[in-house]
Amino acid sequence: MTTDDSPGGSQRATTAKERARAFRKAAYEKAKAAAKERRKAAAATPEAQQRAAALKAKRRDAYKKVRERSKARDLQVAKAEAEAATADRATVDAVRQKELLRLITTADKLAPQPPRDTQTQPKLTLVKN
């Protein structure tokens, strides 16, 4: 890099930076492609394929367990909600029964009573010893 103020000097410095950046990028891409090839070659071995199959089965079993737990939890929640609804309904029915009974007794008290027939009722007499 040059430190002179001429237009060429700053141009050269920028070009050198760009070249260095391009070189680093090319080296990175080459290393990335080589690593990809190594992974591909390593995955082609029978041991790696067995490991991958075992890992896949393990992952599948874990997902299955999670789904089963989720279903069980959903079932538990649904059951609890049903029990709560049943309890609420029983409470509502009990309150309705109580209210109905109160209305019936109030209506009985307010209903006009038939006149009592005094002749049919026995007379009470005091007996002295």
Q: What is the pLDDT of residue 66?
A: 94
**CA–CA distances in Å: residue 20 to residues 14, 33, 120:** 10, 20, 128
The helix or strand, by DSSP H or E, that contains position 46, with its residue range, turns out to be helix 46-110
Q: What is the pLDDT of residue 102?
A: 87
CB 2 within 8 A of CB 14: no
Distance CA 129, CA 123 (A): 19
How high does pLDDT run on average in the chain? Answer: 83
Using CA atoms in the order 35, 40, 42, 48, what is the torsion angle rounded to 10 degrees?
A: 130
- Which of 16-30, 79-93, 113-127 tops mean pLDDT? 16-30
Q: What is the pLDDT of residue 85?
A: 86
- Interval 4-55: pLDDT, tens: 455 555 556 678 889 999 999 999 999 999 999 999 988 888 888 898 899 9
Prediction pTM value: 0.36
Q: Which two tokens stand for residue 8?
A: 């060429």
Distance CA 32, CA 26 (A): 10
